[in-house]
Structures are given as C-alpha cells and as structure tokens.
A and B are shown apart, each in its own frame.
Chain A
Amino acid sequence: MSEFVFATAQYESGDWDSAPLVPPNIIDSVARYTSLAVAPQGVVVPLGSTDLLRYPLVYLTGHLPLRLTDAERRMVRTLVDRGGMLFVDDHNHDVDGAFHRTATEEIARAVGPLVELPNGHPLYSAFFGFPDGPPTTSHELNGWGDNLVHRHLLAVERAGRIGVLYSNKDYSSEWNYHPETKRFYSVDNTRFAVNIVVYALTR
C-alpha cells in the first residue's frame, strides 16, 4: 500500500509557498499521533498538472490574489469529482483581503459555492475531538487581519463528503514553525491538521 504524501499546490498566480514549514509540521504530527504510513517529505505539485491527481489531499495557501488558469480550474474540478480534497487556507486572515475574495470566487467557479460547515461535522471528531468546531488561532485572538474570530469553516461537499475545505483562520501562520518547536507548546496546535488528514483518508 502506498504511503500518504502531503502535497502543497503550486499555482501560477500569487504566493503559493508562503508557509513553507506547514507541510513538515503536519507530517510530523501525523507520524507522531497516528500509525498511518506517511512519507517523511512532502511534495509540491503544480495545480494545473495531471500529477495533482496522484495526491488526493492537497494544501493550498497564499496572501495574494488567486487566479486559476483554465487548466488549474479543470484539475481542481477533476480532483474533487474523483473523491479528492483540497484544503485552502487564507494566509491573510482577512475576509476583505485579496486572497479571500479571489479564492472563494475561483472555488465557486471550479466546483461550486462554499457553505458553512456545521461545527458538529465529522471532521471535528475524525481523530481528536473539537466539540466547539474549528480551533481558534492566535492570529484570530490577537485581532490581526479582519479582527474576527471565525466560528465556522467553509466547504464544498460532494456526495456527503468534503471536496474543498476553506479556512479564514490562518492556520498557515499558526502551523508555520519548525516541528521541533512543538515541545514548547502545552497543547499542540497542529492537532486539527491531523483531523484533516485522517478525515481525507477515511471519508
């Protein structure tokens, strides 16, 4: 059986590599808490390439406006239609920011409009329990970005499962540190990332 490979989407517009430490941090958490076979190194995959379909869970982030090419839009649609999942995180934490406004528009064009994900969704109990929904980030609580605490994540669902998961919570900033630093946290703030991976692998 092939191992899980964490994939980061490389798109032609914007700054796709704005959170380079997120992938190794999530890989570390998956290996630390689960018995899943996980590749020690992540990969970067062009969003408009057919190689995208080799990675059914793809992480996408950025600060700058997101404009998808036709090929990128087509591949996102194919990924979701075939059962894959795209996890998009707004690195600005700003609902008036350029990334949010353009990314939500592009997602709607590619696969359909985003809707609020209920806080009782199986995503929040896939591994660790998050009974109150998505965990808050220090960036939300410090009043950065839009100065809002976002109560819900957004999603596009296909046949009862999440096809696109969208976050305004800026997990890209929250998780963008070296895995070794985890030992200084009283509670590991990447635990929700494990839920995302386990959910993608089991639903």
Chain B
Amino acid sequence: MRFVALGAMLWLAVEAFSTRYPGARLELSGALSESVLSTWSLLPPADTLSLRLDSPPNPAVRDWLRALRRAGTPVGWSDGGIPSLMIEMDSRPDPAGGLIVRVSGPPQGSVRLEDDLGELDRVPLGSLGASLRLPDVAGQVKAMLGGTRATSSSSPQEVRRHLVLLGMAGWETKFVAAALEERGWEVDARLIVAPGLAAGQGKPFPLDTAQHAAIIALDSAAAAYAGAITTFVHSGGGAILGPDAARIPGLRTLTPGRGGSAVRARLKAFTSSAPREALRFRDLQPLVPDALGLESRDGHVALAVRRAGSGRVAQIGYADTWRWRMEGGPDAVAAHRAWWAELVASVAYGGEPVQLGPDDPAPLAALAGALGAPSMPSPRSGGSRRAFPLVLALLLASLFGEWTSRRLRGPT
C-alpha cells in the first residue's frame, strides 16, 4: 500500500509540474489567417479555443479548427457580423456562350464582383439576391462584401450542342430549326412528311443526356416517343412542348399546363414592340401546382415551366412563331432567334459542374458546417487536476494512518 501511495503521489507531482496550464482558455478575435497556426504552436496548449469572428477564416484555418475540434479540444465561435454571402456560377446552355452568376447575401447590401483580371461589377442585392449574365470571365469569380469573400467553386461547362426536334414538316418546324441552327445548335430533326416517312438530319435517337441538351416536340409527331422523352427529362434533359405535343397522353406527366382554350391575337401586325401580341395561342391554364407561368396575356398563360425529375420542361401555347420571324419588323429574325435560344437555354441540360479547389462559395455556411452553430465552449473538465488536492490529502492521510497504526500497535 505504501508503494502504491508513493507511486500515485509521484504521478500527481509530475502532472502538477508539467507544461500544461489547467483551465487555460485561448480567445482570438478578428480575421483569422494562417498566422494563427504559428501563434497556436508557440502558446502553451489551451483547454478551449474561443473565437470571435467578424469575417470567416480562410479554408485552411477553418479546416484546422475543425480538425482541432474533432481531436477533442472544444472550439467555439461567435458571429461578430459575418454576412451570409454565397456565389454560384453556371454556364448558360447556349452555343452563344455566356455565364450566369448568382449571388445571395444580406438584402440591401452591395456586392463587388471580380475575376482574376479585376473588378467586374457592383451588384445591389435584393431579398432574393441577385443574378447577372456575363459573356466570359478570367478564372473564378469572387464576391466581396465587407471583409467576406465568396469564391465560385465550379468552372464553366462545355455546352452539349445537340438538340432534337420532332414535328410534322411545316413552317414552324422549319423556322424553329433555322433559328436554333443560326444560334449555333446542331439540330437533330425528325420531321414527318408522310405516314412512315420522315425527313430529317442528324441522329435524334436514342435520346441521351450525354449527347442531347434538350428535345423540342412541337406536335403529335412526338406521340411515338413519349416514353423516351419522359425518361430523358427525368434523367436531366430539357424539353419544350408545343401546344399539340402537350396533348399527347404519354406526356401529360411532364406538362406544366392542363389547358387548351384558344386565345386570339390582340394585334394584326407583328411590327409593334410586342410582336407576340399578334400571335394566337392556347391558354395553358390551369397550371399544375409546381409550374410557373412565364408569359401571359390578359390573364391567359402562353408559356410555363416546371421541373420534372432532374430535368426541366417548358410548354408553349404558340403554334406559329414562324409568322413573327417572317412578318415582323427589321429585327424580327434576330428577335425570334433570341426568344427560342432563351427558351432552350432555360431548360437545356447543362451537365454537372466541375468543382475546383477548396475555395468557399459560401464562407459562413462552410464555417457553420465545420464548427457547428455559433456557441462558446465550456472548458474541458480538467479531471485529475481539479481532484489533485483531495487525492493528495487522501494519500497523505492514508500514509499517516499506516504510520500511526504501526506505532500504536507496539512490539509484538
């Protein structure tokens, strides 16, 4: 027993005079850079680490804090006013190129955007953030707000350049194909000219998101391919359905609208500033609950979109947009082409973005993901250190008891 007690006292003595400072608590504030790592290595180890942050740490420091936390050191942080900034960049699925940059952050804020060559723009944020189109950028796009910087983490994708066009041979199919080819799309077409006979070009089938960005089905010629179109859309492909195609029973699960009543043209000529007012269309209402009407006239919906599986579907009520191209004003060809290109870009499959490096597209969210919600940690319990005086007293008492028992027992 004596030896056990002496051994325990020796361990406690070593523990007491080691380099640790029981109950040490390190508090850091301000912007954390990688210098905090060297600071940490020079200080005596702390039981807890408390951070007050007014801007998010860079990814390397954030990952170190997460590692420290997982190793058992309580790490807590409080938000000193870090804005919830996020940036995302996608390629527009359009052969004409272009990028869409979406930014979210505190409403009424103004975000500075820059790429590797310098400032691109300053964007005021609304309640839904902001988005803008850019023709091209150098490197990654960064959004700056105060001391916070969010960096887009994906690179632009190469656009799949093939579309599929299905329809009866006619002016609408001809001029839709012409408009999209002028835009730079490769149009794989199947145009029905007689029973069992189709004119066309390219290889429209099998439909495959590895090859095709979207399918445009204008009329009942798509009926034989309804199953393939549905599978294609659920796999991520885009679809544009004309008024007659939307009536095909096999495509009803995709259509945003369920209507079909005719709406007359409001204008006779296509030369006004609103040329589609001269087009008649079928009202798409009622829309299914998850559909969104994008174009309407007098309360009647002419264009609506929805998601279906991983893909997107647009339904148009117009059947003769070619008349706009042919009969419109001097810019009608370009306007018709741009409208169709925009429609295709809104549904076309853009591929999976390639992730680049460790940059933070959403720094505050990444910080919360790494360290949890803001909270200040309670110090580690301290275990043996807090019990040191009590244990020492017990050991001394037991040694004293053992000594006195030997003395009081007397010679035997």
> Chain A interface (Cβ within 8 Å of chain B)?
1-4, 33-37, 50, 53-54, 56, 81-84, 126-127, 159, 198, 200-203
A residues in contact with B171, CB < 8 Å: 2, 4, 56, 201
B175's nearest neighbour on chain A, judged by CB, is A83
Q: How large is the interface on B (under 10, 10 to 19, 20 to 34, 35 or more residues)?
A: 20 to 34
B174 at the interface (CB under 8 A from A): yes
B interface, over-half SS: mixed
B62 at the interface (CB under 8 A from A): no
B218's nearest neighbour on chain A, judged by CB, is A1
Decide if B174 touches A201 in the complex (CB within 8 Å). Answer: yes
B327 at the interface (CB under 8 A from A): yes
B residues in contact with A1, CB < 8 Å: 168, 170, 172, 218-219, 242, 244, 319-320
Given contacts A1-B319, A1-B320, A127-B194, 8 further A-B contacts (CB under 8 A): A2-B320, A4-B170, A33-B194, A35-B168, A50-B327, A83-B175, A126-B199, A127-B199
* Contact of B169 (CB < 8 Å), options: A33, A53, A56, A201: A201
Task: Evaluate whether A36 and B169 lie within 8 angstroms (CB atoms) in the complex, with A83-B175, A202-B174 already known.
Answer: yes
A residues in contact with B327, CB < 8 Å: 50, 53-54
- C-alpha spacing A54/B195, complex, angstroms: 27
B265 at the interface (CB under 8 A from A): no
| Min CB–CB distance A71 → chain B (angstroms) | 16
A51's nearest neighbour on chain B, judged by CB, is B327
B residues in contact with A3, CB < 8 Å: 170
- C-alpha spacing A121/B322, complex, angstroms: 25
Decide if B323 touches A34 in the complex (CB within 8 Å). Answer: no
| Min CB–CB distance B60 → chain A (angstroms) | 54
B residues in contact with A37, CB < 8 Å: 168, 170
Decide if B199 touches A198 in the complex (CB within 8 Å). Answer: yes
> Could you show 19 A-B contacts with beta carbons less than 8 Å apart?
A1-B319, A1-B320, A2-B319, A2-B320, A3-B170, A4-B170, A33-B194, A36-B169, A37-B168, A53-B327, A54-B323, A83-B178, A83-B325, A84-B326, A127-B194, A198-B193, A201-B193, A202-B189, A202-B191
B residues in contact with A53, CB < 8 Å: 326-327
A4's nearest neighbour on chain B, judged by CB, is B170
